[in-house]
């Protein structure tokens, strides 16, 4: 027996069960009474015990990977807990990846069991012959004989019904792996990141701190971010740790479902990528529906930069605080969170919105550096731009069984590939990912800065700026713009250019503006600039 107290996921579950037994988990479920499934942490914990026994029964051993291929539901939440509680690793698989990436991930992780939602079975059925390590597919249903051609398929509820609700976790070390998540890697194969029990535990505590997301028993949290995207931004574990109620948006949530859930269940904190929040705003304007959002204290936006104009629209039209946060799969994922420091509270309104548009401050517990190309530290003066590096208790130390570790984890620091400036108060302003910057005549142009300016135009719904090849300057920016519904015919290039002209040096301005129906999105809803770059690689300005 060690003298040290290990930080383990089972303690998080134990706290939810013993201290908050009657707090609820509510899952949107079409056809159910009131459109939802609801139960308590007490009931959840008992079912997690059953699931731990069931995983043992299926032959899962300590350290084995157990995959999930599922929407945000209470059953997925049970898997989030059961795997680490019984000593296995919860591997959340992105349901929107290309088939070849899915095959790569499952084989690379060597998943032994995969939990699958019934409507997602067809995707895996087509790939099953290539998934070498999987011994059982557990279908997340109460149907005792699920209709699927997946080999060795078992019904989740039948499995649970046979298992005891008494379970004692095995002895574990806090450094043991508890979670595994792959980045959606816009170039090359996805990279896996394991989360230790210790990292998940400390990340949960950090997320609940007053100057981070401040989760508490008084909250009802709702992760719109999928449970397979970067550890669901910590929501499942952090909420359970403090006994916050959880709302799970279920299968294919659309903006209407999101609005209804917030209204009906008095959600206080929710989170998702900017695409979600732009979609919700657009839905509200187009449908003319109104909802009661008075319960919301924070709508967390992360995953890519959220334009100040969107933050402003949420505040002015809905009375809601859109809070900017930043992180990555490699960091469990939170690294910065935006809170206004007391001495900045009286800033003029415009400056306050600008500040809200920054990614915020590095959260307590982590260390951050800003470095130039040669790795020299740059001053935090709000001007100089460099790459952000991080280290700390929930920053991963490597990619899972991957030679690419050496490119990213150097001398104990995680190299984010994000180019930013940091102001004297410590607020981070991300310019771009290195690979999204436009390098014109040897000078960098930030695509994000241009996009943010263009999106502020009232007739613009979305905008992405990409590099196109240029004979003299090597690369020049091209703006790809999606007009709002009523402005498809009227919005033209001159209007867009005039709108941003005064805000940038002349050589920063896009060479051209193309109007498109929609910005292609990645599997987690970020702008897919790789697709746009391919589409416009032969683009001739004015041609
Ligand atoms: P993927 O690499 O598959 O996109 P992640 O969600 O882990 O998956 O991506 C992390 C990256 O997303 C960060 O390194 C950064 O480039 C970007 N990012 C995340 N949050 C923000 C934000 N608030 N503002 C700007 N960029 C962000």
User: Do 442 and 421 lie in a common domain?
Assistant: no
Q: Is the CB of 190 under 6 A from ligand 1?
A: no
Tell me how far the alpha carbon of residue 377 lies from the centroid of ligand 1, in angstroms.
Answer: 22
Give the pLDDT score at 442: 84
**CATH number (domain holding residue 357):** 2.30.38.10
Please report the atom of ligand 1 found closest to the CA of residue 185: 3
**What total of structural domains would you count in the chain?**
3
Residue of 92, 230, 418, 432 to test ligand 1 pocket, by largest number of atoms within 8 Å of CB: 418
**CATH number (domain holding residue 54):** 3.40.50.12780
Domain stop point among 159, 194, 229? 194
User: Do 331 and 467 lie in a common domain?
Assistant: no
**Is residue 100 situated within a structural domain?**
yes
Q: Is the CB of 183 under 6 A from ligand 1?
A: yes
**Is residue 462 situated within a structural domain?**
yes
List the residue whose alpha carbon is closest to atom 26 of ligand 1. Answer: 304
User: Do 422 and 481 lie in a common domain?
Assistant: no
The pLDDT averaged over each successive group of 10 residues in the chain (543 residues) is: 85 98 98 96 98 98 98 98 98 95 97 98 98 98 96 98 98 98 82 98 98 98 98 98 98 98 98 96 95 98 94 97 98 97 96 97 98 96 96 98 96 96 97 87 90 95 95 95 93 96 94 96 91 93 72
- Global pTM exceeds 0.75: yes
Give the pLDDT score at 188: 76
**Is residue 366 situated within a structural domain?**
yes
User: Do 65 and 182 lie in a common domain?
Assistant: yes
CA distances (Å), 541 to each of 357, 471, 472, 479, 512, in order? 32, 12, 13, 11, 6
List the residue whose alpha carbon is closest to atom 12 of ligand 1. Answer: 303
| Residue (of 223, 240, 217, 403) closest to 325 by Cα position | 223
Q: Is the CB of 326 under 6 A from ligand 1?
A: yes
Give the pLDDT score at 290: 96
Give the pLDDT score at 87: 98
User: Do 22 and 120 lie in a common domain?
Assistant: yes
CA 340 – CA 355 distance, rounded (Å):
8
Please report the atom of ligand 1 found closest to the CA of residue 333: 7
- What is the C-alpha end-to-end distance of the chain, expressed in Å? 74
User: Do 18 and 165 lie in a common domain?
Assistant: yes
Give the pLDDT score at 362: 98
E-assigned strand segments in 54-160: 65-69, 89-92, 111-116, 136-139, 153-155
Tell me how far the alpha carbon of residue 87 lies from the centroid of ligand 1, in angstroms.
Answer: 30
Please report the atom of ligand 1 found closest to the CA of residue 526: 4
CA 164 – CA 410 distance, rounded (Å):
46
Output the six-digit token pair for 137: 């597919």
Output the six-digit token pair for 184: 């959606």
Domain stop point among 366, 391, 426? 426
Domain stop point among 163, 194, 225? 194
Tell me how far the alpha carbon of residue 466 lies from the centroid of ligand 1, in angstroms.
Answer: 17
Residue of 273, 303, 331 to test ligand 1 pocket, by largest number of atoms within 8 Å of CB: 303
Cβ pair 193, 400 in contact under 8 A: yes
User: Do 15 and 64 lie in a common domain?
Assistant: yes
User: Do 446 and 487 lie in a common domain?
Assistant: yes
Three-state secondary structure of 425-455: CCCEEEEEEHHHCEEECCEEECHHHHHHHHH
User: Do 129 and 148 lie in a common domain?
Assistant: yes
Domain extent for 525: 437-535
User: Do 14 and 42 lie in a common domain?
Assistant: yes
Residues marked as catalytic = 183, 330, 439, 444
Q: Is the CB of 96 under 6 A from ligand 1?
A: no
Give the pLDDT score at 470: 93
């Amino acid at each position: 027996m060690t003298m040290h107290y290990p930080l383990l996921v089972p303690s998080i579950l134990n706290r939810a069960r013993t201290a908050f037994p009657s707090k609820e988990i509510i899952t949107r479920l079409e056809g159910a009474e009131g459109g939802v499934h609801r139960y308590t942490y007490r009931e959840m914990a008992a079912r997690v015990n059953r699931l731990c026994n069931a995983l043992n029964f299926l032959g899962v051993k300590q350290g084995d990977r157990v995959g999930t291929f599922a929407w945000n539901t209470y059953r997925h939440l049970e898997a989030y807990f059961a795997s680490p509680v019984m000593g296995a690793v919860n591997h959340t698989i992105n349901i929107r990846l290309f088939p070849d990436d899915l095959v790569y991930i499952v084989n690379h992780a060597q998943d032994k069991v995969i939990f699958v939602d019934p409507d997602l079975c067809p995707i895996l059925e087509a790939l099953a012959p290539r998934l070498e390590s999987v011994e059982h597919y557990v279908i997340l249903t109460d149907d005792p004989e699920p209709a699927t051609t997946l080999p060795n398929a078992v019904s989740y509820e039948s499995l649970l019904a046979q298992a005891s609700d008494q379970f004692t976790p095995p002895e574990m070390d806090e450094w043991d792996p508890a979670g595994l998540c792959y980045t959606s890697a816009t170039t090359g194969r996805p990279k896996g990141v394991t989360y230790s029990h210790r990292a998940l535990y400390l990340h949960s505590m950090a997320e609940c701190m007053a100057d981070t997301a401040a989760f508490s028993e008084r909250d009802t949290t709702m992760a719109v971010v999928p449970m397979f995207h970067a550890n669901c931004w910590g929501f499942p574990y952090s909420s359970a740790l403090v006994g916050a109620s959880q709302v799970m948006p279920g299968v294919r949530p659309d903006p209407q479902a999101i609005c209804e859930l917030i209204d009906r269940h008095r959600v206080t904190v929710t989170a998702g990528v900017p695409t979600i929040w732009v979609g919700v705003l657009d839905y509200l304007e187009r449908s003319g529906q109104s909802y009661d959002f008075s319960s919301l204290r924070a709508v967390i936006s992360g995953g890519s930069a959220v334009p100040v104009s969107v933050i402003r629209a949420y505040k002015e039209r809905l009375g809601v605080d859109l809070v900017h946060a930043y992180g990555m799969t490699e960091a469990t994922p939170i690294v910065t969170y935006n809170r206004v420091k007391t001495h900045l509270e009286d800033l003029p309104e415009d400056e306050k919105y600008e500040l809200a548009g920054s990614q915020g401050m590095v959260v307590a517990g982590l260390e951050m550096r800003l470095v130039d190309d040669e790795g020299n530290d740059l001053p935090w003066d709000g001007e100089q731009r460099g790459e952000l590096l991080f280290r700390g208790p929930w920053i991963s130390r490597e990619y899972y069984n991957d030679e690419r570790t050496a490119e990213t984890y150097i001398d104990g620091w995680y190299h984010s590939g994000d180019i930013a400036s940091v102001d004297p108060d410590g607020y981070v302003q991300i310019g771009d990912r290195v690979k999204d910057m436009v390098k014109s005549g040897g000078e960098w142009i930030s695509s994000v800065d241009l996009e943010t300016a263009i999106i502020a135009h009232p007739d613009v719904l979305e905008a992405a700026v990409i590099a196109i090849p240029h004979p003299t300057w090597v690369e020049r920016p091209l703006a790809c713009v999606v007009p709002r519904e009523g402005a498809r015919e009227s919005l033209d290039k001159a209007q867009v250019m005039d709108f941003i002209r005064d805000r940038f040096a002349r050589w920063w301005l896009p060479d051209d503006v193309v109007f498109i129906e929609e910005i292609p999105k990645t599997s987690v809803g970020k702008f897919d600039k790789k697709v746009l770059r391919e589409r416009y690689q032969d683009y001739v300005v004015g041609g």
